[in-house]
Structure formats: structure tokens, C-alpha cells
């Protein structure tokens, strides 16, 4: 089968950063699905792993953690899907990724593809939707009855774009999103943010000026270390901060005086550790599909590149590394 991978970690402008490969087609066992990949998208985790992972000598690493496709075959213990089903998922960071014609994935972290979306539109959703859902509901503890304000740092990124929509549709929270450029400010407003503030300015003053009231929940999606002192000041007493990026150091002691709490979201934790609640990712992806098909949630894909090959995937990685993307970049078709 065709695949894209690398033999050593490299900067994206290196010729060997991502290369076209021919690999054996895998066969499903246990609860695995064999999925014929129709479209994939890129995420910051792809960039981080490509630049840091060293495969075993003589082997290539195939990464990628967003896909939509069709189930081609199933393992003997599969109960949720059958061949021919259209699916979408983010996968497991400890297994070969979706940058290949075929991929094995545990059915418990797979959802039905939204019927109203194309494969490229669907491929842009899983990782960001799982991350946003788990962050909002499992880590920050939001419910449909939640009120007060939610501050989203990095509202125009992949996760922020979904998080804003989920908060607006499924909670009573007032959403304050950060964005610094005219086009990203328009983007987050269009997604449903009640207020938009500029994270390159004085966050404390700007959030206060919205008049949105106490900020009990903060989703820190990017540059958390730079913003953390301001976030602690903004946070309401007994509030929660949820983090998804990788700050080198955080001084959390100032949270003590507010009885504030810090929560990390890592959507790969359930599949990595085969947690007893691993099936929750299947359920939440199905819930996301239902929201999409009902017109209550939209895909955030802003660019589709064809076909899926090393040259085009390098282009997508380079765009992501620029830090200036809006929404999701997707590749379609081998």
C-alpha cells in the first residue's frame, strides 16, 4: 500500500522530512477495523512527532491522527461496525497513523462519519472534536446548565473552532475567544463567540471590558506559559483552567489563593492506556456526527489539497508550522 513517513526526525524543509513509501497492507485482529483512507488532516501533534520521533533502525514511522474512510475488513471481536461503513476517527498515537492507504484502528475510538459531510470535511473533525469535547466536559466539567463565562485562548485554531461551537450549542456559557488578526476575529465571531479579545494585548483589561462576568472556566489552547499570569488573574475563585499545549514551565502556586485548579487534556490518553471508559470516544464522535447532521456543528476545514502524497503533506506541515493557519488543512485521495 502507499504511505508517507520518515526514517529520522527532520525539519520540514529537509528532503527526507516526509517521503513516499510502499508498505504491506495490514490485516485486522481483535477489535480492529481495517479502514481504507479517503482523506486525512494535519494537526500540531503531527509536526511535533515528525520533528522528534526516531523510528527503529531501518524502519519508517507513519504518523497522522485524523482520518475519514470506509471500513474494508473487521477483526473477529468487532461489534460496532461492518465492512462498507463510512467512519471518522483520530486514532492512537502509539500505533501507525493515518498517512497511508489503509490503517488499523480500534473500533472503540471510531465514530460514524457525518452523513452530511464529504470525506475531506469529515477528516478535519475528529482530533479537534475529541479534544474540545473532553476538555470542555470531562476536564473543565461544563454541563448544559453551566453559566458564567468561558475564555478560549486561541479561538481560531482547530480545537478552539470546535470548542466555541460546542460551548454555544450545549452549554449556557458566555464565550470569550481570543484572536489577533482581522480574519481570525471574524472567524471566531462567525463560529459563535459572544466576545472577541486580542491575546497580543492586555488580556485582563480586555476581558473585564466585555462585562461578561466571572470567568469560571478557561481553555488555554496555545502559548499557555506566556498568558498564564494573566489567566490566573482573570480566573474566578474556584475556577478551572484546562491546558492542551506543552508549556516548559508553569508556576501554578498563584492558583492556590483562588482555590483554582489546572487540568490537562490529552485525547490520546484513553487509547494509550486502554482505559475502562475508552468507548467514550466512540460515543462522543457519534454525538458530534449527530450535531453536524442536525446543522448544529460545522466542519472547520478551510483548505483541501489533492492528492495525498509526501510533497503535499510537507506543504501542509509547513503551513501549520507557520502559525498562521485558520481552521483545518485536509488532504484527499491517494
What pLDDT, in 10s, does the model give residues 285-330? 999 999 999 999 998 898 999 999 999 999 999 999 987 777 789 9
What is the end-to-end Cα distance of the chain in Å, rounded? 10
Separation between Cα atoms, residue 127 and residue 197, nearest integer Å: 26
Query: Does the global pTM surpass 0.85?
Result: yes
Q: Which residue has the cell 480574519?
A: 183
What pLDDT, in 10s, does the model give residues 82-138? 999 999 999 999 999 999 999 999 999 999 999 999 999 999 999 999 999 999 999
Pure H helices in 139-202: 158-170, 182-191
Q: How many CA atoms lie within 13 A of 54 on its CB side?
A: 1
Mean pLDDT for the chain?
96
Answer whether residue 40 shows pLDDT above 90: yes
> What pLDDT score does 221 carry?
96
E strands, the chain, are 2-5, 19-22, 32-41, 67-74, 86-89, 102-106, 110-112, 149-153, 174-178, 195-197, 215-220, 235-243, 261-264, 301-305, 328-332
Angle ∠(121,126,158) on CA atoms, nearest 5: 80
Residue 258: C-alpha distances to residues 219, 244, 262 (Å)? 17, 22, 12
Amino acid at each position: 500500500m502507499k504511505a508517507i513517513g520518515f526514517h529520522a526526525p527532520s525539519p520540514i524543509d529537509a528532503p527526507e522530512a516526509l517521503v513516499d513509501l510502499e508498505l504491506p497492507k495490514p490485516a485486522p485482529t481483535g477489535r480492529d477495523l481495517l479502514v481504507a483512507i479517503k482523506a486525512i488532516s494535519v494537526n500540531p501533534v503531527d509536526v511535533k512527532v515528525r520533528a522528534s520521533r526516531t523510528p527503529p533502525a531501518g524502519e519508517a514511522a507513519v504518523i497522522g491522527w485524523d482520518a475519514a474512510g470506509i471500513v474494508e475488513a473487521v477483526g473477529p471481536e468487532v461489534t460496532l461496525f461492518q465492512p462498507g461503513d463510512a467512519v471518522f476517527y483520530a486514532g492512537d498515537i502509539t500505533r501507525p497513523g493515518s498517512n497511508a492507504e489503509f490503517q488499523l484502528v480500534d473500533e472503540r475510538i471510531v465514530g460514524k462519519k457525518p452523513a452530511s459531510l464529504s470525506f475531506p470535511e469529515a477528516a478535519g473533525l475528529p482530533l479537534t472534536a475529541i479534544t474540545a469535547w473532553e476538555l470542555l466536559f470531562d476536564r473543565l466539567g461544563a454541563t448544559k446548565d453551566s453559566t458564567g463565562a468561558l475564555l478560549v485562548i486561541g479561538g481560531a485554531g482547530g480545537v478552539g473552532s470546535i470548542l466555541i461551537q460546542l460551548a454555544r450549542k450545549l452549554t449556557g456559557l458566555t464565550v470569550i475567544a481570543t484572536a489577533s488578526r482581522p480574519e481570525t476575529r471574524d472567524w471566531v465571531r462567525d463560529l459563535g463567540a459572544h466576545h472577541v479579545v486580542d491575546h497580543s494585548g492586555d488580556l485582563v483589561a480586555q476581558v473585564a471590558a466585555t462585562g461578561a462576568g466571572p470567568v469560571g472556566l478557561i481553555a488555554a489552547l496555545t502559548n499557555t506559559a506566556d498568558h498564564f499570569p494573566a489567566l490566573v488573574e482573570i480566573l474566578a475563585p474556584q475556577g478551572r483552567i484546562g491546558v492542551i499545549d506543552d508549556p516548559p514551565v508553569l508556576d501554578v502556586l498563584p492558583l492556590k489563593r483562588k482555590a483554582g485548579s489546572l487540568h490537562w487534556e490529552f485525547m490520546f490518553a484513553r487509547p494509550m492506556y486502554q482505559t475502562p471508559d475508552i468507548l467514550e470516544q466512540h460515543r462522543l464522535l457519534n454525538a458530534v456526527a449527530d450535531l453536524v447532521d442536525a446543522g448544529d456543528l460545522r466542519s472547520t476545514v478551510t483548505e483541501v489539497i489533492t492528492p495525498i502524497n509526501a510533497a503535499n503533506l510537507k506543504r501542509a506541515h509547513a503551513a501549520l508550522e507557520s502559525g498562521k493557519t485558520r481552521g483545518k488543512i485536509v488532504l484527499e485521495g491517494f
